[in-house]
Structure 1
């Protein structure tokens, strides 16, 4: 069930809200939590009911192991430490094995066959939706239990921590201490008009981003990448248009999903962590990874980069740890060498970024006050680097990615004729494409983001006091209600015209 589908917006969400707050209104708090867990299972089972058993078994296993580890931590003797380490190893191994089988087994077998000349086969393995997200979330819970950071939560609240439908399929990846205390709050089932208004506002903005902006610009990205994959020769202008279109599509698609997830959770009185903070406004690759998929970056840093040694064992080891982290982060996105290349590129970018910062520090060239031209230069270089990496993220093969890069670098503008603009070899209208790209760039680089618009009302756990012009600040008044109602109406009208598309991050 998609957030941008009529069955979700008109049936599932209203019924879930009414049931949850209706039970809470009559004092049945526990029943309301059960209802939310039950409807979350319905939401997950809508895709493939068979995998409900998988996620239930995963939750039971991790809850039992996590509680055992947490109890062992209380005993300060060698045997308990021995048990703690071994059960943590077992817990992480089972989770990783589960993820490896469903997501990477055929990938490994395929590459083994290429190397060894064998013909092994595992058949078709259907990837359970959200397995990367709920697996990482529970691994984080086990590690925190090992560190003594958890308490013994009841199983119902733990189920909600894992299965809570707004962030189940594509994040944000939450820590237990961020949401479990909120689920345990006695007032969670009390109807709150402020939460409803804030949640619907964030949801509506996210829906518009997905249905109008992401899906709109995608009509110019997909044909160009498909044409390149099929061997069609595309011009330099087409290549730039296609890559820029995908760059903006992915931005609006993931930003839209993050807003919708945060908005839905807020309706139920749950505040999720920030996951998206205008990443294309980043002035460096380091800054980009502080803004893009923030909760995944945090997970990779806390549970992979730092355990590897982080920056504590010298610069060479630090750069090696960065590269390993980004390679595995790329592989996390999917069983493809293209994702590994994408991760490797970002690892290289980060190393160069850190080296540049170190050189500037050594030469005492650092300055707090940067000119607008210096900032613009950094931002353009960062954006172009990100855009090049997205080519490998999106392309179906290395040859298709290289073909697009060659077309971009050929600068063969002599083929740019009026006829080509209205009907290019990739069968897109390049004039309309340029208009979409101009509109997208204005929104991405100059418009305030959702967290900034609602910062006074703490839309996320990490929202900062981010002052913007008063005209852009959300207020619970008639003008904003009419504006958001119009945005919502436009998005629903678009959904009625065509079948809703999946979010890009659902495939990960």
Structure 2
């Protein structure tokens, strides 16, 4: 990052703007290839192919048969690449299971960020078909739009009008102390979310989910809440880091999270969680399917199909499909309730929404449908309740209520501290300002410098642990 920024702004200051652009492209490709260079050609083929389709769509009148053909060929091009690398093994495995056959399952490693750069470029092709990308830009600008390293691996999912105009502004080639300061603050807070919080909670989650069939009520809820928090701090942390890195280069990437666990309905949740994906699903899937324009039954069908496909986008597995379908049903229920016109008390609305999200995250996290069902059984108390042995002396009458006094073998050894940490983190995500709200109060001062410097130092000390982002191969 420092080398990339120094060379980029050095070239720009010398008025070598094309060279600065080429340098940023090269740096982004090197960054992507650092994990596995063999997938760099695939990325470049995807970029070149989509630029070709977009170029011809810009030369073709919107709505014509030729334009529609080019659009579907372009979408097919993206879905073929995505389908092979992400879903081929899933399709073969499911076929073997359903028809009781033994087809060889391909051993395919999922390329980094393939879902993100595929969806970004599908959105670009649709915008080209609609005539929204006809302003002139070069291939170098387009490739930077796709491979710009802060957002390449895990988003946010970008649209043409959100990034390409940014690369064409001359002032964005001028080093900005203000943007560096704000970007560094964003990046530091995002890194802290990932390294100090999400990675600390991760071992608790892994232990609980790996013993799903042996859990009791408290252990199951501990694991479910821990994963709910881990996923938020992990993915929103990445998004904050991407925004911060973008700002260091004077590029404004869109906000991707807005306190989703404060939502008081599932509709509200999806306006706050992974906002760029929600916007993509709405604008490029739900509305083209007909949205709410063709009656209530069609509206609910479109909602369900959109979320079902949104679940499949997240991963090649039936748990992801069921998770998406479940959120589709939640949204249908939410819209139906709104039509009834009865206003629910805010706390009850939040409580129901949050619990619906927690139960659905269990399915999302589980390695199999059976594991998800075991977790949910335990969360509903169907596997019984266990308490520490010392409670047997204080509450002996609970022994007759099917309560066992065996402790919590799958919780941290200091489970009291673990519970307090989860309660504190819940209070943070529900009651405190989010990253962008904190940054709005940012003012260069010694207090900010010392606070952010201290957080950054703690993050660097914690980097001896190797832990991938949860969305790094989506």
Per the normalisation by structure 2, the TM-score is 0.94
Q: Does 1:330 align with 2:311?
A: yes
Q: Distance in 2 between matches of 1:333 and 1:96?
A: 14
Aligned to 1:5: none
The structure-2 alpha-carbon separation of the partners of 1:418 and 1:47, relative to structure 1 and needing over 3 Å to count, comes to farther
Does structure 2 conserve the Cα–Cα contact (< 8 Å) formed by 1:328 and 1:340?
yes
1:279-318 residue pairs with structure 2 within 5 A? 279-318=260-299
Does structure 2 conserve the Cα–Cα contact (< 8 Å) formed by 1:161 and 1:180?
yes
Does structure 1 conserve the Cα–Cα contact (< 8 Å) formed by 2:389 and 2:407?
no
Aligned to 1:463: none
Does structure 1 conserve the Cα–Cα contact (< 8 Å) formed by 2:93 and 2:105?
no
Does structure 2 conserve the Cα–Cα contact (< 8 Å) formed by 1:72 and 1:84?
yes
Aligned match for 2:365, one of 366, 372, 394: 394
Q: Distance in 1 between matches of 2:2 and 2:390?
A: 50
The structure-2 alpha-carbon separation of the partners of 1:392 and 1:414, relative to structure 1 and needing over 3 Å to count, comes to closer
Does structure 1 conserve the Cα–Cα contact (< 8 Å) formed by 2:386 and 2:405?
no
Deviation at 1:423, TM superposition (A): 7.0
1:213-252 residue pairs with structure 2 within 5 A? 213-228=197-212, 231=213, 233-252=214-233
Aligned to 2:469: 503
Which segments of 5 or more consecutive residues in structure 1 lack a partner in the other structure?
A: 1-12, 75-79, 456-472
Q: Does 1:441 align with 2:422?
A: no
The alignment covers a number of residue pairs equal to 459
Q: Does 1:82 align with 2:38?
A: no
- Relative to structure 2, which stretch is displaced further, 141-150 or 18-27? 18-27
Aligned match for 1:205, one of 163, 182, 189: 189
Q: Does 1:143 align with 2:126?
A: yes
Q: Distance in 2 between matches of 1:506 and 1:305?
A: 26
Aligned to 2:454: 486
Deviation at 1:117, TM superposition (A): 2.8
Q: Distance in 1 between matches of 2:205 and 2:121?
A: 35
Q: Distance in 1 between matches of 2:362 and 2:388?
A: 22
Q: Distance in 1 between matches of 2:302 and 2:358?
A: 24
Q: Distance in 2 between matches of 1:105 and 1:161?
A: 28
* RMSD between superposed Cα atoms in Å: 1.7
Q: Does 1:415 align with 2:387?
A: yes
Aligned to 2:352: 381
Q: Secondary structure at the match of 1:353?
A: helix
1:247-266 residue pairs with structure 2 within 5 A? 247-266=228-247
Q: Distance in 2 between matches of 1:502 and 1:404?
A: 24
Aligned to 2:113: 130
1:366-377 residue pairs with structure 2 within 5 A? 374-377=345-348
1:427-466 residue pairs with structure 2 within 5 A? 428-429=412-413, 430-455=415-440
Aligned to 1:475: 443
Cα displacement string for residues 164-215 of structure 1 (whole angstroms, at most 9, x for unaligned residues): 0100011000101111011111122211000100000000000111101111
Q: Distance in 1 between matches of 2:473 and 2:338?
A: 35
Deviation at 1:222, TM superposition (A): 1.2
